[in-house]
Chain A
Amino acid sequence: MTTVQTPPPGAPSRRLGEVIIEALIVLAGASTVIIVALIFIFLLREGINTFLDIPLRQLFGQRWYPIEGYFGLLPLLVGTALVTVGAVLIAVPLGIIAAIYLGEIAPTWLREILKPLIEVLAGIPSIVLGFLGWVALAPIIQNLGAPTGLTAFTGSLLLAYMALPTIISISEDALYAVPKEYRDGSLAIGATQWQTIWRVVLPAARSGLVIAVMLGIGRVIGETMAVLLVTGNAANIPAFGPGMFFSPVRTMTATIAAEMGEVAQGSLHYNVLFGIGLILFLITFTVNWLAARLVGGNGARRSRGGLL
């Protein structure tokens, strides 16, 4: 480019300021990526021995009893899966329905009251919710007929309520981003409000809703303190059937939290706990990647333009 602009007075120093600012902004943006990369490298360095030193057959064994060298991860994977699936089954329908009510049906004044209240729920520390679950929710579950109150379902219920604010706020934003003309057009050709919501608004907000669900799942998988208190921490694979949600299970996160304090640094058990961390990292990564894939290139950009 050869276009020459006449430099305004004081240009050199201004350009220096811009260069510094630009560098700082790049640094701020890049730091997130660098930190994620560093975390991954650290997990890999500490955890890779899990997959090198323990035969795969043993890693997929059914017993987790690390102090005697049983490193079967299957019960922990099943535990995390049960708690997560349960939480998603509860939180996703509830969250999206609540978002539809807030965004499409509730009068504005009610919406102004409800939205901040829902966000308060997000601010409650998970250990507090976990304690409540342990003291109040577990006895209720036991009275409903479960052999003990500390079950996968108890964990799912708590985690569902922890993920709800995320799912509701993001879904509601996604619905809000659907242009008003869509609704007007639909209503104008004679569709009822329900038909408009179900056939027009929800499909149009699809990509945002998928992001809401995926972020909710991410919150659920990574939660630790609440599940440590209420899921019973039994490294057991319950018999397949609906009853499996009402058995005690041990999740991957709770295992790391409960056992990290005891291990000698550099021991195999220590490596395996980092290996579990690595698996959790990969699961979250896959969930995010799937979210991006499901949303699709065009949709993602459009909804992101509307959302953020």
Chain B
Amino acid sequence: MTPTRRSTALLTLALLFTLAFSAGCARPSDSVDAASGASQRAIQNKGSDTMVNLALAWAEAYRAQQPDVAIAVTGGGSGTGIAALINGTVDIANASREMKDGEIEQARAKGIEPVEHLVAIDALAIIVNPANPVDRLTIDQLADIFTGRITNWQELGGDDALIILVSRETNSGTHVYFLDEVVRKGDSSIKDIFAPQTMLMPSSVGITSEIQRNPHAIGYDGLGYVTEHEKLIAVARDAASTYVLPSVQSGADGSYPIARGLYMYTAGEPTGSIADFIAWIVGPAGQQIVADLGFVPLPQE
């Protein structure tokens, strides 16, 4: 073999190797699919970021009790979880709002009948920076603030400063719930939407960190996510009603006006390990975890 021929052969070999390697890159995903197909016991659970800590705590506690059942929990938002249920990639979708008619239709078009399970109640807290003197607001005032009709804290008895609006992204169930119940005051004929200057945060942490460092920001988040670094606002249905601070107590007895159900959706009535898991969640053990994380447990009959 002449030196030229050898180097040609080497180059050919190198190029073929490159091609073989790039073709090989496609393989790992196949093997992952095969693996997940083999272990039928892994329950895929995805959706609401509000519920993600709760779902993780449930999964962990349930695993301790039933070691052969694996539960994979991911967040992403209620819309993301429901979209995954419609696309058939999860067993349980977590949602901090009810499924919309359009989503139910999309699921049915794919041959999936979504079944709703109420698993906990969440009180939605309105939070501001502790330096903000404002401590109570009505639903009307909140609607005016978040639609941009009120833009200065002075109009609410606070400092002369621009109100900075902080919200979750539109794929969050919390966002949709807040839009329906606060911005539109629960009246479906009102078509108001958030003011354009509303900052949309990709996570709960995005909201709390902005509230913590900005004395003129106002936002909302699940009660379970509020820390001592944010100040809770007492909310009244209207100026004539009493102002109530959010708590497990006021959420459970219905006196706090902005509380909502947290749901799990399954494709059809659940069976086997998924049915056992959901039954355990709504039972005493699962509801104790709900209370421990600052959410409101379901009334036990």
Mark A residues whose CB is within 8 Å of B: 10, 13-14, 17-18, 20-21, 24, 28, 62-68, 70, 75, 134, 138-139, 142, 147-150, 228-229, 232-237, 247-248, 250, 258-259, 261-265
Contact = CB atoms under 8 A, between A and B. Distances in A.
Given A24-B19, A68-B193, A150-B210, 19 more contacts: A10-B5, A17-B9, A20-B12, A21-B15, A63-B196, A67-B170, A70-B193, A142-B214, A147-B216, A148-B217, A233-B169, A234-B165, A235-B196, A247-B197, A250-B200, A262-B80, A262-B169, A262-B171, A263-B79
B83 interface: yes
Contacts of A75: 196
Contacts of B176: 67
Nearest to A65: B193
A20 to B, nearest CB: 6
A68 B179 CA distance: 11
A262 B169 CA distance: 10
Please name the 3 residue pairs, one residue from A and one from B, whose CB atoms are nearest each other, closest first: A262-B171, A262-B79, A236-B196
Interface string B1-30: 010110011011001000100000000000
B8 A65 contact: no
B87 A265 contact: yes
Contacts of B161: 147
A67 B77 CA distance: 14
Nearest to B205: A134
Nearest to B196: A236
Contacts of B217: 148
A262 B77 contact: yes
Interface residues of B, number: 42
B86 interface: yes
Contact of B199 (A10, A64, A150, A261): A150
Interface string B44-88: 000000000000000000000000000000001101100100110
B213 A149 contact: yes
Nearest to A72: B196
Given A67-B170, A264-B106, A148 B196 contact: no
Nearest to A148: B164
Interface in B195-216: 196-202, 209-210, 213-214, 216
B103 interface: yes
26 contacts: A10-B2, A24-B12, A24-B15, A64-B196, A65-B170, A67-B170, A67-B176, A68-B193, A134-B209, A142-B213, A148-B164, A148-B199, A234-B165, A236-B196, A237-B196, A248-B197, A258-B169, A258-B200, A258-B202, A259-B170, A261-B171, A262-B77, A262-B83, A262-B169, A262-B170, A264-B106
B162 interface: yes
Nearest to B1: A10
A70 B80 CA distance: 20
B194 interface: yes
A63 B192 CA distance: 12
Contact of B214 (A149, A259, A264): A149
Contact of A261 (B19, B77, B198, B200): B77
